[in-house]
A and B are shown apart, each in its own frame.
Chain A
């Protein structure tokens, strides 16, 4: 293989494909990091909410609803689900001493249940919606499917929109205030309990949106929630729990490390490398690259 061949066929596509995967991971991690950063809650069932979004898209598409409409409809439908989960499961244990551990355990239990329920409703076989934008584009000899190109663009748009809401709007300020000091925020007139439920539902809605967007590429099956969740947790930790920019940087960086490492060493070792990175960050910089949102 000539060096030019290597660059054109191997290295460059590797970077571009890694980018698409990176955007997918960031989309899943976004809701996770927001729920952690604002509520101090580890949502172990985040992957299952992602799966619910994907299945909802599949079912609604089968009922004749177009893909573009689903991008809005599914996240909106996920909001009441998120609200209910927050009210019924998170709120009752929110004030216990070990909030982290307790919420982690409760959502872990919820994840087990959701996975099984999805299997009962939709069956165990893998399903896949058709690719909404078919075809591929060739740029400088690098082939990229149009849908992945779209995913990279819409992923960037979603991140910017979420960052704008959280960092630049009055609503975002209220949420951040509630996260930083609940009592202070309440005394300033922030409806704290509504803000908490809304934030959780927002994170769940983002998971649902990720489900709609990623289903055509990664297919839909009951255990799909476990798929991205490990990588997403790693991204949240490395980026700094609660940091949106941290999740973006870490998500893109880790997937590049994975993609490029798989050229040099056996790809099976890329998973240990990613977990090793997580462990190393937890050891030496537990606040992650960007520290914590509510406390920044």
Chain B
């Protein structure tokens, strides 16, 4: 027997499996045809999917909208870039990015988790703006020009090795990495920690009575989200060979939020599909008209208003019905997702 939450997560896992299979199929096709651009664009979409995943972990599970998640993405990218320029080692760069984002996310979490709701959104926004300005003004970090000249690395994986310049190879590596982050997040959300988070979103005032610390759970979610964003960001300079302060700007954070809303808040896999969709949309609309803001803005607005659970909200219930039929439990539709009303009406923020 599975409860409803597990049920809807199983539907997400099925979508994740489909995503991986289709991606591998496309990678094989791309490799066979000698394609470079689409594989590398796909890799970039996956890297930003990692950022979107971290936004969804916060928004969809602890109900906290981060408007500054690019802060950790940017820290990961810059630390990885600086490391790679000294020692071109994948593992060292990832380790350094992990350590740096861990410290940054703990500090950021201590600041941001003092407040809730819209104040949380604004404080994360403010933090990211301050850091982006600092990077933008620091000549040692290349200031407004950013840093170029990050070498193309060989990534050692035990007996194998993949070059970051090999489009299909690096795509598969990033796919494995991002889906690994997805699996890890999904696993953690299935533990008691995850249940506390879900309970927090439903009714924060009751959680302490169950014997759990609200603050600890929120802090843990925040740091975890920071790490996911930072590790995703660390992959960026390996792909593109440069970093620039724009990676920390609001546009990057905003795109992650758009991805999550398009894909489906609180579904995890929706963030990944949404991010891929956004990259494709931008790529297609951008080549067709320079007024892509109108199209994306409109799509985004309609999604918030009429499709609060995004694309995953359209697809997932059907998969759940199928799954239920097989396990012969009564059909369930409730899930922790979305910007939609759940039973409890929240109080005022302050």
Report which of A106, A113, A120 forms a contact with B305, defined as CB distance below 8 A: A106
Chain B residue, CB-CB nearest to A292: B350
Q: Is B30 an interface residue (CB 8 A)?
A: no
Instruction: Tell me whether A95 and B294 are in contact (CB under 8 A).
Output: no
A160 → B minimal CB distance (Å): 27
Interface contact B134-A113, CB-CB below 8 Å: no
Given A109-B304, A287-B350; A279-B340 close (CB under 8 Å) = no
The answer to whether A113 touches B301, judged by C-beta atoms less than 8 angstroms apart, is yes
A283 and B111 alpha carbons, distance in the complex (Å):
6
1/0 per residue A63-100: CB within 8 Å of B?
A: 00000000000000000000000000100110111101
Whether the Cβ atoms of B115 and A105 lie closer than 8 Å is no
Cβ-closest chain B residue relative to A113: B297
How far, in whole Å, are A116 and B291 apart by their CA atoms in the complex? Answer: 6
List the B side residues contacting A234 at CB < 8 Å.
Answer: 126
Chain B: number of interface residues, binned into ranges: 35 or more
A164 within 8 A of B: no
Residue on B with the closest CB to A240?
B350
Taking the complex as formed, is A161 at the interface, i.e. its CB lies under 8 A from any CB of chain B?
no
Task: Tell which of B297, B346, B349 touches A97, judged by Cβ atoms closer than 8 Å.
Answer: B346
Q: A105-B300, A109-B300 are in contact. Are A92 and B134 (CB under 8 A)?
A: no
Interface residues of chain A: helix, strand, loop or mixed (majority): helix
Query: Across the A-B interface, how many residue pairs have beta carbons closer than 8 Å?
Result: 123
A97-B339, A101-B339, A113-B294 are contacts. A282–B122 as well, Cβ < 8 Å? Answer: yes
Name the A residues within 8 Å of B130 (CB-CB). 272, 275-276, 279
Flag A228-244 by CB within 8 Å of B: 1 or 0 each: 00100110010000000
Task: Let me know if B85 is at the binding interface, CB within 8 A.
Answer: no
B341 touches A116 (CB 8 A): no
Check if A116 sits within 8 Å of B304, measured CB to CB. Answer: no
**Is the Cβ of B122 less than 8 Å from the Cβ of A233?**
yes
Question: In the complex, which of the residues B118, B119, B123, B298 has the most CB atoms of chain A within 10 Å of its own CB atom?
Answer: B118
**Complex contact B134–A106 (CB within 8 A):** no
Complex Cα gap A93–B308 (Å): 10
Whether A112 lies near B122 (C-beta < 8 A) is no
Q: Which of B92-127 contact A (CB under 8 A)?
A: 111, 114-115, 117-119, 121-123, 126-127
Query: Which A residues touch B339, using CB under 8 A?
Result: 96-98, 101-102, 105
Among A89, A104, A233, point to the contact of B65 (Cβ < 8 A).
A104
Chain A residue contacts of B342, Cβ below 8 A: 97
A268 contacts B by Cβ under 8 Å: yes
Partner of B308, one of A96, A110, A268, A269: A96
Bound complex: CA A93 to CA B306 (Å): 9
A278 contact from B122, B257, B340, Cβ within 8 A: B122
Question: In the complex, which of the residues A109, A117, A283 contacts B115, with contact meaning CB atoms closer than 8 Å?
Answer: A283
- CB contact under 8 A between A92 and B115, given known A112-B293, A282-B126, A283-B123: no
B294–A105 contact, CB under 8 A? Answer: no
Give Cα A101 to B121, complex, Å. Answer: 8
Flag B333-350 by CB within 8 Å of A: 1 or 0 each. 000000111101110111
CA distance A265 to B170 in the complex (A): 45
A75 vs B129: C-alpha distance when bound (angstroms): 32
Q: Which residues of A contact B348 (CB under 8 A)?
A: 40, 295
A-B pairs, 8 with minimum CB distance: A112-B297, A109-B301, A100-B118, A113-B297, A116-B293, A97-B341, A109-B300, A282-B123
Which B residues are closer than 8 A to A by beta carbons? 59, 63, 65, 111, 114-115, 117-119, 121-123, 126-127, 129-130, 133-134, 137, 254, 257, 261, 291, 293-294, 296-298, 300-301, 304-305, 308, 339-342, 344-346, 348-350
Chain A residues near B (Cβ < 8 Å): 40, 42, 89, 92-93, 95-98, 100-102, 104-106, 108-113, 115-117, 119-120, 230, 233-234, 237, 268-269, 271-272, 275-276, 278-279, 282-284, 286-287, 292, 295
In the complex, 14 of the A-B residue pairs with CB atoms within 8 angstroms, ordered by the A residue number, are A40-B348, A93-B304, A95-B341, A96-B339, A97-B346, A104-B65, A106-B304, A106-B305, A112-B294, A112-B297, A116-B297, A279-B123, A279-B127, A283-B123
Task: For the A-B complex with A89-B301, A106-B304 known, give 14 more contacts whose Cβ atoms are closer than 8 Å.
Answer: A96-B341, A101-B117, A105-B257, A110-B301, A113-B294, A116-B297, A119-B291, A237-B122, A268-B133, A275-B127, A279-B126, A279-B127, A282-B115, A292-B350
